[in-house]
């Protein structure tokens, strides 16, 4: 079942998944998830993809997104899910997931720049502004590459709550749920089972 409801962005806003504020690629991966009444897809169509990209600061509002570009964004999301999942199990990912990520990296790569302010030198990559939709794809792929190859990769985990499907960065080693909502849901289910499946 596919559910498109107006409440979804509010719902997500209320429950930020740890890591999404630092890695926009995590937000992309988590743009498809389950709720009690079905599947939610925040990239369901060109208009939704446009809204998502603008909301995440990856695309100027005036730049439209066509169906093909929205399809590429969804394909990158699915490839990232596979790659993040492979990272969790330690298995080699399928070649096509890697190819999809690498194609996105090459779509419109940003140019490395060295910026220097009173705070000192820092890397400040300039996105390719000739093709904004492709540049957004490249930025997301660059972000995912940085996450998978950097020091935060060890904290990358998939939520252990059944059917949640969200990825997050562990704030501490034992954390298993993406949000307290998932943790509470699992605890409630366990308590229900411990009572022999009878309601209080």
Chain residues binding Zn ion by CB under 5 A are 159, 161, 164, 166, 178, 182
Q: Which two tokens stand for residue 110?
A: 């940003």
CB of 194 to Zn ion, least distance (A): 21
CB of 160 to Zn ion, least distance (A): 8
CB of 121 to Zn ion, least distance (A): 39
55 vs 189: CA distance, rounded Å: 35
| Of 83, 147, 149, 140, residue with least CA distance to 107 | 140
Q: Identify the H or E element spanning 180.
A: helix 180-194
Q: Which is nearer to Zn ion, 39 or 131 (CB)?
A: 39
Are the CB atoms for 140 and 25 separated by under 8 Å? yes
Q: Which is nearer to Zn ion, 50 or 166 (CB)?
A: 166
CB of 125 to Zn ion, least distance (A): 31
CB of 60 to Zn ion, least distance (A): 32
Q: What angle do CA 157, 180, 198 make, to 5 degrees?
A: 110
Q: Which is nearer to Zn ion, 190 or 195 (CB)?
A: 190
Q: Which is nearer to Zn ion, 42 or 107 (CB)?
A: 42
Beta strands in the chain (DSSP E): 2-3, 32-35, 38-41, 114-117, 120-123, 156-158, 167-169
Q: How would you label 16-31 residue by residue, b for 16+ Cβ within 10 Å and e otherwise?
A: ebbbbeebbbbbbbbb
Q: Which is nearer to Zn ion, 100 or 179 (CB)?
A: 179
């Amino acid at each position: 079942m596919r559910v498109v409801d107006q409440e979804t962005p509010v719902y997500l806003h209320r429950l930020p998944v740890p890591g999404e504020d630092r890695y926009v690629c995590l937000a992309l991966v988590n743009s498809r998830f389950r709720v009690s009444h079905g599947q939610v897809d925040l990239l369901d169509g060109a208009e939704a993809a446009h809204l998502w990209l603008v909301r995440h600061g990856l695309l100027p509002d005036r730049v439209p997104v066509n169906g093909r570009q929205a399809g590429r964004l969804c394909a990158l999301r699915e490839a990232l899910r596979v790659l993040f999942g492979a990272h969790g199990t330690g298995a080699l990912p399928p070649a096509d997931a890697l190819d999809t990520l690498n194609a996105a990296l090459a779509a419109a790569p940003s140019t490395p720049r060295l910026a220097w302010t009173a705070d000192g030198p820092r890397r400040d990559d300039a996105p390719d502004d000739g093709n904004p939709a492709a540049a957004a794809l490249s930025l997301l792929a660059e972000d995912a590459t940085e996450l998978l190859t950097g020091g935060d990769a060890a904290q990358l985990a998939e939520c252990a709550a059944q059917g949640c499907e969200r990825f997050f960065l562990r704030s501490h080693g034992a954390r298993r749920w993406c949000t307290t909502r998932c943790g509470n849901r699992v605890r409630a289910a366990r308590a229900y089972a411990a009572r022999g499946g009878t309601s209080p």
